[in-house]
């Protein structure tokens, strides 16, 4: 997108006429009109004034229009297998620790478990995709099976075990990221 088109888009988004934008920047309506048609170029100082009047700045204005990646697949996943605890953790979103939540896919083999997690801030939710699990929170035990979800306030030590005869698979989300 050309500079003029972007300025016109922002002006219209702010519900300003060319004259109103010109007045706010101490410019002529004709200059704004020519700028929007890419028939002239502003100085950096003038562009900064225009962008300030439109509620943005140079960095935001010139950032690429490309969005962050939305869809992830096998090539993006990070996987950790723990033979001793008989589990596999798959981080579904790369670098999710920079986000507000972190989704993982956990597979626990029969007689396996997750690593015990100490109390931390945030919340955790999970959905059992397959199998049966036991959720250990402090000294309390909670059973969940395929199709059921769980919610943990991680203010006590906690982990999940699989006492069943087949692997259990859980979609587990932590906010803020803690895995």
- What's the mean pLDDT when you consider all of the chain? 91
Find the CATH number of the domain harbouring 81: 2.60.120.10
Q: What is the pLDDT of residue 38?
A: 92
Backbone angles phi, psi at 49, to 5 degrees: -65, -45
Q: Give the confidence band of 176 by pLDDT, cuts at 50, 70, 90.
A: confident
The stretch 76-103 carries a mean pLDDT of: 88
Q: Is the pLDDT of residue 179 over 80?
A: no
How many domains does the chain fold into? Answer: 2
Report helix, strand or coil for 165.
coil
| CB of 120 closer than 8 Å to CB of 142 | no
Write the pLDDT tens digit of every residue in 39-83. Answer: 999 999 999 999 999 999 998 888 765 456 789 898 888 899 999
107 and 54 part of one domain = no
78 and 147 part of one domain = yes
User: What residues contact 78, with CB distance under 8 A and at least 6 apart?
Assistant: 90, 91, 94
In a domain, 100, yes or no: yes
86 and 15 part of one domain = no
The stretch 146-174 carries a mean pLDDT of: 96
Q: Is the pLDDT of residue 23 over 50?
A: yes
169 and 117 part of one domain = yes
151 CB burial (10 A radius; 0-12, 13-18, 19+) = exposed
More confident residue, 78 or 151: 151
In a domain, 45, yes or no: yes
In a domain, 67, yes or no: no
99 and 171 part of one domain = yes
Domain of residue 12 covers 3-62
Q: Give the confidence band of 36 by pLDDT, cuts at 50, 70, 90.
A: very high
Q: Is the pLDDT of residue 4 over 80?
A: yes
Neighbours of 110 (CB within 10 A): 14
158 and 94 part of one domain = yes
172 CB burial (10 A radius; 0-12, 13-18, 19+) = buried
Report residue 89 as tokens.
């953790």
In a domain, 69, yes or no: no
Q: Is the pLDDT of residue 96 over 80?
A: no
CA distance 131 to 59: 50
In a domain, 163, yes or no: yes
């Amino acid at each position: 997108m050309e500079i003029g088109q972007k300025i016109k888009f922002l002006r219209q988004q702010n519900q300003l006429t060319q004259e109103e934008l010109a007045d706010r920047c101490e410019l002529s309506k004709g200059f704004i009109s020519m700028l929007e048609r890419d028939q002239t170029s502003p100085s950096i100082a003038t562009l900064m004034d225009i962008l300030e009047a439109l509620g943005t700045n140079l960095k935001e204005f010139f950032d690429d229009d490309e969005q962050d990646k939305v869809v992830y697949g096998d090539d993006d996943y990070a996987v950790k297998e723990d033979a001793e605890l008989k589990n596999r953790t798959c981080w579904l979103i790369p670098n999710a620790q920079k986000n507000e939540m972190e989704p993982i896919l956990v597979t626990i083999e029969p007689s396996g478990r997750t690593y015990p997690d100490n109390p931390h801030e945030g919340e955790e939710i999970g959905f059992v995709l397959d199998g049966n699990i036991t959720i250990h929170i402090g000294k309390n035990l909670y059973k969940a099976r395929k199709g059921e979800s769980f919610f943990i306030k991680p203010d006590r030590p906690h982990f999940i075990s699989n006492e069943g005869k087949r692997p259990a698979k859980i979609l587990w989300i932590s906010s803020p990221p803690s895995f």
